Amino acid sequence: MGKTSSSRTIAIVVSYNSSRKLDATLAALSPQLDRVIVVDNGSGPSERHLVEEAARNHNAVLIKFEENKGIGAALNRGVEEAVRNNAKWILTMDQDTVVSNDFMMELDRVREALEPDCCFTPYGTGLRQKGSSHVVEVGFAITSGNLLPVKLLADVGPFREDLFIDGVDIDFSLRLRMKGYRIFHVPAARIKHDLGDRPTRTPFHSLHSPLRRYYMARNHVIVVREYFSHYPFFIAKLSFAHIASCCLAILLGPLRRSSFIHILKGTRDGLRGRTGAFCGR
């Protein structure tokens, strides 16, 4: 498949210790874009050479961090490189997302028909989204598959680095909406995206490590405190899903005791306004 009018679009793929998934991600993206940037967030020694090989095989630019600085920092570094390479649009991606063969063609079709100052989010298998075939406005976009114009980023500001992981996409989406921009869901642009370390069919339940549960709990509290007064209905729905996910993790997930402890620590630190990487206490 040839490249579409996405030639001014640059993809930013954030990777961390998942080189096998990264290769499939790059294989699907590279034929549809003129440039792909991989920002490796401090993968371990056993993974590093595989990340380098995947980037080389698919002609991607590779930026390497010596340590994990979080998804916000990785995205912001990728944005800097994309802007330096004259990008007009940026596609943010996770390492575990594989796009369909007509992904960019479908996004191009919609963005050419709608106002330019908005962003677009795809339909993903593994994501709990409604299966409507119509393009509709939505409240937020997940990081993976989010297509947005560079000038929007300049207005809204960078991705929030102090959250480290989880909630970065929600925070950015709400800041975007507060600036008056819109987010559209494009069902025809499809991705395959993994939620959690292993899939589960139980609603509101995904399998994550206790450390990830810490970030999910902490950053949820931070998002609630900062945005409830602006978007009470959206935050209420988000909180219901978060509480359900925590309860199911404690009842059904592996490492239940450790997950429970990390959820409590995350909630405590969120109430204290503590951000950044988990310090272990």
pLDDT digits (tens, 9 = 90+) for 204-223: 667 889 999 999 999 999 99
pLDDT of 195 higher than 80: no
* 26 and 90 belong to one structural domain: yes
Model pLDDT for residues 56-66, shown as the tens digit of each residue: 999 999 999 99
Query: pLDDT tens digits, residue range 265-280?
Result: 999 999 999 999 998 8
Residue 199 lies in a domain: no
User: Among 47, 75, 51, which Cα is nearest to 62's?
Assistant: 51
69-95 per-position pLDDT tens digit: 999 999 999 999 999 999 999 999 999
**Domains: count for the chain:** 2
Write phi, then psi, for 99 (nearest 5 degrees).
Answer: -90, 160
Say yes or no: 147 and 247 in one domain: no
pLDDT tens-digit profile of 227-242? 999 999 999 999 999 9
Residue 28: pLDDT band with limits 50, 70, 90: very high
- Final residue of a structural domain among 141, 158, 193: 193
d(Cα 90, Cα 9) in Å, to the nearest integer? 5
Cα–Cα dist 221/53, whole Å:
39
| Domain end point (choices 193, 228, 245) | 193
* Residue 203 is assigned to a structural domain of this protein: no
Residue 187, helix vs strand vs coil: strand
Residues 160 and 236 in one domain: no
234-251 burial, b at 16+ Cβ within 10 Å, e below that, comes to bbeebeeebeebbebbee
In a domain, 33, yes or no: yes
When pLDDT is cut at 50, 70 and 90, the band that residue 1 belongs to is very low
CB 19 within 8 Å of CB 52:
no
The reply to whether 174 and 266 lie within a common domain is no
Tell whether 144 is covered by a domain. Answer: yes
Which residue, of 165, 193, 221, is where some domain finishes? 193
Same domain? 98 vs 174:
yes
- The residue range of the domain holding 234 is 210-272
Its pTM stands at 0.91
Within 10 angstroms of residue 64's Cβ, the number of other Cβ atoms is 15
Do residue 70 and residue 185 come from a single domain? yes
User: The domain that contains 89 carries what CATH number?
Assistant: 3.90.550.60
Q: Please report the pLDDT score of residue 224 as a whole number.
A: 98
Look up residue 18 and give its two tokens. 């998942």
Is 147 a member of any domain? yes
Residue 245 and residue 189 in one domain: no
Same domain, 242 and 182: no
Per-residue confidence at 6, pLDDT binned at 50, 70, 90? very low
Residue 134 has phi, psi (to 5 degrees) of -95, 145
Banded pLDDT at 225 (limits 50, 70, 90)? very high
Q: What's the start-to-end Cα distance of the chain, in Å?
A: 51
CA distances from residue 241 to 153, 168, 217 in whole angstroms, order as listed: 28, 17, 12
Q: Is residue 158 part of a domain?
A: yes
In-domain check, residue 205: no
Provide DSSP, 38-55.
EEEE---HHHHHHHHHHH
In this structure, are 250 and 216 located in the same domain? yes
Answer for the pair 59, 3: CB distance below 8 angstroms, yes or no: no
Domain match, 153 and 127 both: yes
| Same domain (yes/no): 187, 225 | no
- Per-residue model confidence as pLDDT tens digits over 112-156: 888 778 999 998 644 555 556 789 999 999 999 999 999 999 899
Considering the domain boundaries, does residue 28 fall inside one?
A: yes
